[in-house]
């Protein structure tokens, strides 16, 4: 009787803890390596794609306590796979929990990024296309397009989740690398496919630099080369009916990343609102883990 009730309590908890056990297992089995190419951005994409065969699992979270609205926490889990050296595919699932309201699943996204040119140039273009099925309660701020305002967050989750938008989002990603600096510019165009809405536009700009350009001769965890610092600027640009950046949200953000051993990366960024439509500050933090050569798990010859 006792063991049955214990099982009733323990089994669901263990199931809930499974991702933690799986993650710990990965850490033990994984080779000791740090991933160093990727700049420390949350919103802006650079020309760096996932290496072919690698699978990166990222959890990025955003927390905020906007004026006149309930505080919220919105996690997004992202699976990024390098299909080839010029094509990366990603899937996202996202949700949010709002204080004095509820916790809900807000939707999913599938995206692909293609690098059309085979060489490294002064400016490297990447083409991005995404299908998203997200409801209006989404608070992930993965990008900002059209005319949006933080005041929409005053509406309850129950009301917002009824409005589902299925849309195609495209981005032109431009990225340059020089003397350790990465400069990236994203131009976003989004069109709802399930309702007649105008095209929505947005942008993201970023720059980053590692704290050291040359590697250390000694294996180290906290050496400067494992840290990247940068800044992001992103927001909406209105719609085809009204182009501009005043009637939408705009943010500026310093950002920092630490590339830890075992393929782990930690990122942090406080994002500051630049106008009355924006939240005062969004706290963003994330951790990612790269499973190196995930494809080899399915190969006979390794």
Contact footprint for another protein (CB under 8 A)? 31-39, 46-49, 51-54, 82-86, 115, 118-120, 124, 177, 179-180, 182, 210, 213-219, 225, 292-293, 295-296, 299, 301-302
- Residue 89 or 274 having the CB closest to another protein: 89
- Residue 40 or 236 having the CB closest to another protein: 40
Q: Whole-number minimum distance, CB 210 to another protein, in Å?
A: 6
- Residue 90 or 200 having the CB closest to another protein: 90
- Displacement of CA 119 from its chain's centroid (Å): 26
Pairwise CA distance, residues 261 & 258, whole Å: 10
Q: Whole-number minimum distance, CB 274 to another protein, in Å?
A: 28
- Residue 18 or 181 having the CB closest to another protein: 181
DSSP category for residue 179: T
Q: Whole-number minimum distance, CB 62 to another protein, in Å?
A: 25
Q: Whole-number minimum distance, CB 48 to another protein, in Å?
A: 5
Q: Whole-number minimum distance, CB 43 to another protein, in Å?
A: 18
Q: Whole-number minimum distance, CB 257 to another protein, in Å?
A: 13
CB-facing half-sphere around the CA of 55: CA atoms within 13 A: 11
Q: Whole-number minimum distance, CB 236 to another protein, in Å?
A: 28
Secondary structure of the chain in HEC code, one letter for each residue? CHHHHHHHHHHHHHHHHHHHHHHHHHHHHCCCCCCCCCCCCCCCCCCCCCCECCEEEEEEEEEECCCCCCCEEEEEEEEEEEEECCEEEEEEEEEEEECCCCEEEEEEEEEEEECCCCCCCCCEEEEEEEEEEEECCCCCCCCCCECCCHHHHHCCHHHHCCCEEEEEEEEEEEEEEECCEEEEEEEEEEEECCCCCCCEEEEEEEEEEECCCCCCCCCCCCCHHHEEEEEEEEEEEEECCEECCCCCCEEEEEEEEEEECCCEEEEEEEEEECCCCCCCEEEEEEEEEEECCHHHHHCCCC
- Residue 13 or 217 having the CB closest to another protein: 217
- Residue 53 or 273 having the CB closest to another protein: 53
- Residue 71 or 83 having the CB closest to another protein: 83
Residue indicated by tokens 């350790």: 180
Q: Whole-number minimum distance, CB 41 to another protein, in Å?
A: 12
């Amino acid at each position: 009787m006792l063991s049955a009730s214990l099982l009733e309590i323990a089994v669901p908890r263990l199931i809930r803890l499974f991702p933690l056990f799986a993650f710990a297992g990965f850490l033990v089995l994984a080779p000791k390596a740090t991933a160093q190419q990727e700049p420390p951005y949350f919103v802006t994409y650079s020309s760096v794609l996932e290496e072919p065969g690698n699978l990166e699992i990222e959890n990025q979270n955003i927390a905020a306590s906007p004026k006149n609205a309930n505080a919220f926490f919105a996690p997004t889990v992202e699976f990024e796979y390098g299909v080839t050296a010029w094509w990366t595919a990603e899937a996202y699932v996202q949700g949010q929990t709002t204080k004095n309201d509820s916790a809900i699943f807000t939707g999913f996204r599938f995206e692909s990024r293609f690098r059309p040119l085979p060489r490294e140039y002064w400016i490297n273009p990447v083409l991005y296309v995404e299908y998203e099925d997200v409801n209006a309660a989404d608070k992930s701020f993965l990008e900002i397009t059209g005319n949006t305002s933080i005041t929409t967050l005053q509406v309850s989750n129950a009301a917002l989740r009824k409005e589902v938008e299925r849309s195609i989002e495209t981005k032109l990603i431009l990225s340059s690398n020089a003397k350790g600096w990465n400069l990236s510019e994203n131009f976003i165009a989004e069109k709802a496919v399930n309702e007649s809405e105008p095209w929505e536009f947005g942008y993201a700009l970023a720059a980053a630099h590692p704290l050291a350009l040359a590697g250390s001769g000694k294996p180290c965890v906290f050496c400067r080369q494992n840290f990247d610092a940068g800044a992001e600027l992103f927001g909406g640009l209105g719609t085809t009916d009204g182009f501009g950046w005043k009637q939408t949200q705009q943010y500026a953000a310093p950002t920092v990343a630490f590339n830890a051993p075992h393929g782990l990366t930690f990122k942090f960024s406080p994002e500051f609102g630049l106008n009355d439509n924006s939240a005062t500050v969004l706290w963003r933090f994330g951790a990612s883990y790269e499973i190196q050569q995930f494809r080899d798990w399915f190969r006979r010859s390794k």
